Structure 1
Amino acid sequence: MAQLRQWATTLGFSQIGVADVDLSSAEPGLMAWLARGFHGEMRYMASHGLKRARPAELVPGTVRVITARMDYLPASVAAEGWQAVEWARLQRPDAAAVSMYARGRDYHKVLRARLQKLADQLAALIGPLGYRVFTDSAPVLEVELASRSGVGWRGKHTLLLSREAGSTFFLGEIYVDVPLPLTEPVTAHCGACRSCMDMCPTQAIVGERQVDARRCISYLTIEHDGPIPAELRPLMGNRIYGCDDCQLACPWNKFAQRARVPDFDVRPALNDPTLLQLWRWDEATFLRLTEGSPIRRIGHARWQRNIAVAMGNALAAWRDRVLTADEASLRAQMVQALQAWLAAPTVTGEAQAQVAEHVHWALAQQHAPQ
């Protein structure tokens, strides 16, 4: 394991562990979560069923799972006080809040390639072995495996937590058919803290380690392809892709670590953008500036849907108070931009009607409810 850890560090991973494949004790919780419909429209969660908790069914012959974490805070983020910077962005109605993990390169591509290299090095060391690598790309209970291998513990927000790194990291796995020595799990250290639960804007954390995805802003802005429920729109603020609030509220994230690889550096186009700047992207610009980014997979129409909601919330925030000259100008520009879209939509087909509905909703927010 010492040699494997050294190779992992060289590849940019911060920690690895080894878990057994018997996850039977996690099966009742998984099935109860699905039964309550908390997976929303992520139908693949239900279709895979218990295969998610049975690694040897997903990859026959698997007897161990190597788990790995890779920190993702960009190098440009302040070493201290990064959470305060992010909170401040959420208080600026005209700012566009994109989840920290999505401001650089798609983590799927980064981790998968490096996990493959790590597996190849292991094979060269111990001889031929069967393996497959995964990064949030298959029915895998990532947090369960990582917690059993000692990489961290499951927080009340369901994310993995580490005393050394908080929760700002990605997870990846290598399923192997050799009985590598197991690493010991660690104890949980959340105690009575409820910061993540209390801070969730939509109260999606419905119980300790229980998230109703249907209320989660990350789900609504990324996974959900239909209209965003009207009652949840005002709670989304200026969050247009993902949501970091539960991580920003977590005391352990004062220990969050900077990325060891440059892939997660912030792209210039996503370095503190405004809603108006991103709204003005046409589809060609969206595709060009999100190439190799996790954002690209939601498509231009869903991107505009999300921004329209955020602009509606900005108009609502400015509705009932005296504005500065800059705020009044921004308000006028937003209204004009939304009206211009209705006059000349930038998406077509079924998506056009959906985006238009959110644009009409946004424009209505400049007026007090009747």
Structure 2
Amino acid sequence: MHVDAQSVAQFIKAKAIALGFDACGIARAEKLNEEESHLKVWLSKGYHAGMMWMNRNSELRVDPRLLFEGTRSIVVVLKNYAPAHYPFADRKYKIARYAMGNDYHRVVKKQLLALLDEIQQAFGKQIRGRCFVDSAPVLERVWAHRAGLGWIGKNSLLLNRHLGSYFFIGEIFLDIELAYDKPINSLCGTCTYCIDACPTGAIVAPMMVDANRCISYQTIENKSEIDEPVRNKLKGWIFGCDICQEVCPWNFRVKPHQEPAFEILPALRDLTDNQIENLTEETYNSVFARSPVKRAKYPKLVHNIRTNQKFFH
């Protein structure tokens, strides 16, 4: 069955929305020459901190055709996670908004696989595809930008004019030619709210974040003690950090997500500052069982809490 690239692209986008995604765009799979230069500069300055895997497989990161042989098109989806109410806004300790509900890897991956199945059912099982959600050497924000879904903000996050930056990104690599979307120019203008608001100065230049100074990196990816320059500037964050997103004007009027799986977990919603300060392993296991917070093991989360306690005034 022959169907033109434009029709298939329109089908994919319509199905993506029907399956629960909030936006969908498509980019041509090709080597990312300009982005490769940016990545090399970032790595050469040591801004990847302890994320040594960023140094590995760099050739796969900049050429998706090496990651999944035969890739010709990259379907990119956005999945809103903005909560209707953020329960930690007025509390001493804070957890990033993306970790309020069920682990997004499973939720988004399941919907991506359903979308791939829809494509194969409609246009033939011979179509090959592979799904990714924050779990492979894929420059997700770059592909989302190329797929016309937004622009890279000065805090290095993808910004969408309707969704702000509170969303997950997923991809399907496909071995078929499709109609492609055009990248969007930055709409940040002269705004520097994110740069100015970062308490640790982690945004060292527009679109250049030093993970060594980033609270999100220090409270999640850094498996050892939080680095000295950051310890007294955590501002109560014990898992992740939303400061540069909270001040972004593009996030001021975003609509809350409509995904039941991302509803705030009751045990997490009801977690008190006192419970956090006296967190037992039993409470940790029961409260965070289905949350991305489990990425930070119990000893790490306790360390984050204790480090915050030392510097509360």
Report the TM-score when normalising by structure 1. 0.79
**Aligned mates of 2:238, 2:271 — CA distance in 1:** 11
Give the Cα–Cα distance (whole angstroms) in 1 for the partners of residues 135 and 229 of structure 2.
Answer: 31
1:21-100 to structure 2, matched below 5 A, reads 21-22=29-30, 23-74=32-83, 76-77=84-85, 89=90, 92=91, 95-100=92-97
Distance in 1 of aligned mates of 2:196 and 2:225: 26
1:257: Cα distance to partner? 2.6
* Aligned-partner Cα distance in 2 for 1:110–1:151: 20
Q: Which AA in structure 2 matches 1:104? A: G
Instruction: Give the partner amino acid of 2:309.
Output: M
Query: Residue in 2 aligned with 1:357?
Result: none
1:340-355 superposed matches below 5 A? none
Do 2:212 and 2:227's aligned partners in 1 also have CA atoms closer than 8 Å?
no
Query: In 2, distance between residues paired with 1:49 and 1:6?
Result: 33
Partner of 2:216: 218
In structure 1, the partner of 2:196 is 198
Separation in 2 of the partners of 1:11 and 1:169? Answer: 16
Which residue, 265, 277, 301 being the options, matches 1:303?
301
2:73 maps to a residue whose letter is R
2:226 corresponds in structure 1 to 228
Distance in 2, matches of 1:240 and 1:56, equals 38
Q: Contact 2:81/2:166 (CA < 8 Å) preserved in 1?
A: yes
The residue aligned with 2:133 is 135
Cα pair 1:204 1:216 within 8 Å, conserved = yes
In 2: Cα distance, 1:221 partner to 1:105 partner: 19
Q: RMSD of aligned C-alpha atoms?
A: 1.5
Between Structure 1 and Structure 2, whose CA radius of gyration is higher? 1
1:117 aligns with 2:114: yes
Higher helix share: 1
- Displacement after TM superposition at 1:3 (Å): 2.5
- Give the distance between the partners of 1:253 and 1:237, measured in 2 at CA: 20
- The one-letter code matched in structure 2 to 1:114 is Q
From 152, 155, 158, the counterpart of 1:157: 155
Secondary structure (helix, strand or coil) at the match of 1:47 reads: coil
Instruction: Please tell me whether the aligned partners of residues 17 and 24 of structure 2 are also in contact (alpha carbons under 8 angstroms).
Output: no
- Tell me the SS of whatever aligns to 1:232: helix
Counterpart amino acid of 2:113? Q
Structure 2: segments with no counterpart, 5+ residues: 1-8
Query: Does 199-208 or 305-314 show the bigger shift?
Result: 305-314
Alignment-mate amino acid for residue 18 of structure 2: T
Task: Name the TM-score, length of structure 2 as normaliser.
Answer: 0.93
Q: Is the 8 A contact 1:63 1:178 kept in 2?
A: yes
Cα separation, 2, equivalents of 1:275 and 1:214: 27
Q: Whole-Å Cα distance in 2 between the matches of residues 255 and 185 of structure 1? A: 23
Shift of 1:276: 2.3
Task: Report the 3-state secondary structure (helix = DSSP H, G, I; strand = E; otherwise coil) of the residue aligned with 1:240.
Answer: strand
Aligned residue identity for 1:25 = E
Q: 2:101, 2:265 within 8 Å by CA — same for their partners in 1?
A: yes
Matched-pair contact (CA < 8 Å) for 2:268–2:287: no
Look up the match of 1:102: 99
Provide the rounded CA distance (Å) in 1 between the counterparts of 2:127 and 2:253: 36
Secondary structure of the 1:235 match is: coil
SS in 2 for 1:167: coil
Which amino acid is the alignment partner of residue 281 of structure 1?
A: L
More displaced stretch, 254-263 vs 216-225: 254-263
Determine helix, strand or coil for the equivalent of 2:297: helix
Alpha-carbon displacement from aligned partner over 1:124-157 (angstroms, at most 9, x marks no partner): 1111211110011000010100001101000000
Deviation per CA, 1:9-55, whole angstroms, max 9, x where unpaired?
A: 12210110011122222111111111111111111110122211110
Runs of at least 4 residues off by over 6 Å: none
| Other structure's SS at 1:231 match | helix
Unmatched segments (≥5 aa) in structure 1: 318-370
Alignment of 1:202-351 (within 5 A): 202-271=200-269, 273-314=271-312, 317=313
SS at match of 2:114: helix
1:231, 1:168 → 2: CA distance?
27
Whether 2:13 is the aligned partner of 1:13: answer no
How far the C-alpha of 1:272 sits from its partner, in A, is 6.1
> Is the 8 Å Cα contact of residues 96 and 273 (structure 1) preserved in structure 2?
no
Aligned equivalents of 2:261, 2:223: Cα separation in 1: 28
Letter in 2 for 1:156: K
Q: Deviations 1:57-90 (Å, cap 9, x if unpaired)?
A: 111111110000000012x42xxxx7xx86x52x
What's the % identity of the aligned pairs? 38
How many residues end up aligned between the 2 structures? 303
